[in-house]
A and B are shown apart, each in its own frame.
Chain A
Amino acid sequence: MNGGQDLGGMQGFGPVAPEPNEPRFHAAWEKRVFGLAMAMGLSGRWNLDASRAAREALPPGEYLTSSYYAIWLKALERQVTAHGLATREEIASGTVSAPAAPVTRVLKGAEVEPLFDRGFPSDRPLDVPARFAVGERVRARIINPPGHTRLPRYVRGRTGTVESVHGSFVFPDSNACLAGEAPQWLYTVRFSGAELWGEAAEPGHAVSVNAFESYLEPLA
């Protein structure tokens, strides 16, 4: 989706502004949202890609004017209601008025450390060979999917060089809409600054993105 999240190359935001003491959380509610989103992400009703898609689905004006954890909160509220886990009235009032819906898993306190220490790898075996090789010139496809994608707008239609082939990974565009993991080969593709931004680009600069195989096409 060409939403408010796809920020690469936008202008007019002003300087980067590090905070003096850089608190991890700015208010008590932010850490509760962090914990709730992480816990519900393991409920089995959705996945990390779906959560990113829910955040990106906020209208651009709202996305760009909401704080980071406010975006997480709004997306989580939408996911909870869209999946029938609670009604709008319930989350507005804080009072339960409808029966609970089934979830696949409830993360227990004692599970957090071992589970998060192990992590959640997203590489998946694939029995077809990679289409592209290191050093090959490729073009990022021009796509504008209405759903989730991880191909940023600023590289679409641009030509780059395959820097590495990483193996096969869960394809977010499919996983986000709960249509299956549909693993694909994943590459790092390097683009020159001039290719992305034109002749006035800063000299000696290159940008690498991680691109799934279906995002790329060979140069004719």
Chain B
Amino acid sequence: MAHEPHDPQNHDHPHDHPHDHAHGSGSELSPMDLRVRALESILVEKGYVDPAALDALIETYETKVGPHNGARAVARAWVDPAFRDRLLADATPTLREIGVGGRGGEHMVVVENTPDAHNLVVCTLCSCYPWPVLGLPPVWYKSPPYRARAVIEPRAVLAEFGVTLPGSTRIRVWDSTAELRYMVLPMRPSGTEDLDEAGLAALVTRDSMIGTGLPRHPGARA
């Protein structure tokens, strides 16, 4: 991804660096910036936290880990039936075959959408999410409306995401209440027979691997 020029007026743009604003001039700092800076100073100065580890953690989860990993797994499953079977039977070592794994994905479970059943993943108690395949969760996934409603009215939630399924399709909700992390294997869209793995992966949205979306159709790419 090309790096955009830094815009000093846009403090929320997604490409800012770990140090940009918290360590800028003091007059710009919010009360929360000051509060966190004080805590960080204490923890670093007392020797509990290595600043290099902080930078590495932030960089890893801000830039390296993301849904492109999950999309690769889905595309591989669409073209390789044996890989699909292994992924559904024992996801953790199967994802390792394509170099995907680690913190937040130690015990992966992949659930497959079919014409009869659609899967939806939530964590009602906190924010459990399969980091190695999808990265850090979006805010809505961690927020009360989704956590409260996904288990009691999943069809209504899906409709808000623009996903309307036939009444005959069962909805399977997976509440991540332990250290098992779920990823949805969506159905391969029609009209994709000519696409290679990379072309297929480009159709796999993050939401389609949570269950709140469906893969893009070819020609409808954003």
B36 & A33 in contact (Cβ 8 Å cutoff) = yes
Beyond A92-B38, A103-B48, A116-B103, 14 additional pairs, beta carbon < 8 A: A7-B144, A10-B144, A18-B161, A28-B20, A28-B33, A35-B58, A52-B126, A73-B36, A90-B42, A96-B46, A100-B48, A106-B47, A122-B106, A207-B174
The interface-forming segment of B1-9, B77-85, B177-185, B190-198 is B177-185
* Given contact pairs A27-B11, A120-B103, A210 touches B58 in the complex (Cβ within 8 A): no
How big is chain B's contact interface, by range?
A: 35 or more
Residues of chain B lying within 8 A (CB to CB) of residue A15: 145, 160
Q: Contacts A27-B32, A118-B102, A206-B172 given: A77-B39 contact, CB under 8 Å?
A: yes
B187 at the interface (CB under 8 A from A): no
Contacts known (A27-B12, A122-B179); A39 close to B53, Cβ less than 8 A: yes
Contacts of A68 in B (CB 8 A): 127, 139, 142-143
Contact check, B43 vs A27: say whether CB atoms are below 8 A apart. no
Is A122 within 8 A of B107, CB to CB? yes
Quick check: is B152 within 8 A (CB to CB) of the other chain?
yes
Size of A's binding interface in residues, CB under 8 A? 95
Give 20 pairs: A residue, B residue, CB < 8 Å, sorted on A. Answer: A5-B125, A5-B126, A8-B124, A9-B152, A13-B144, A23-B14, A24-B62, A27-B32, A32-B36, A39-B50, A39-B53, A40-B43, A95-B41, A116-B57, A116-B60, A150-B177, A204-B168, A206-B172, A207-B173, A209-B175
**Contact yes or no, A39 B102, CB < 8 A:** no
Determine the residue in chain A with the shortest Cβ distance to B157.
A16
Residue A147 at the B interface, CB < 8 A?
no
Would you call A29 and B173 a contact (CB within 8 A)?
Answer: no
Across the interface, do B175 and A152 meet the contact criterion of CB distance under 8 Å?
yes
State in angstroms the CA–CA spacing of A116 and B89 once bound together: 24
B171 and A196 form a contact (CB under 8 A): no
Given A100-B46, A169-B179, A204-B171, the answer on whether A64 and B144 have CB atoms closer than 8 Å is yes
Given B36, B48, B105, which contacts A40 in the complex, CB threshold below 8 Å?
Answer: B48
A43 to B47, CA, bound (A): 11
User: Is A113 engaged at the interface, CB distance under 8 Å to the other chain?
Assistant: yes
Write the B89-117 contact mask toward A (1 if CB under 8 angstroms, else 0).
00000000000011111110000000000
B170 touches A205 (CB 8 A): yes
B21-54 to A contact mask, C-beta < 8 Å, 1/0: 1100000001011011111111101111111111
Residues in chain A near residue B49, CB distance under 8 A: 36, 39-40, 106-107
Residues of A within 8 A of B101 (CB): 117, 119
Contact present for B169 and A80 (CB under 8 Å): no
A91 to B81, CA, bound (A): 55
- A163 CB to nearest chain B CB (Å): 10
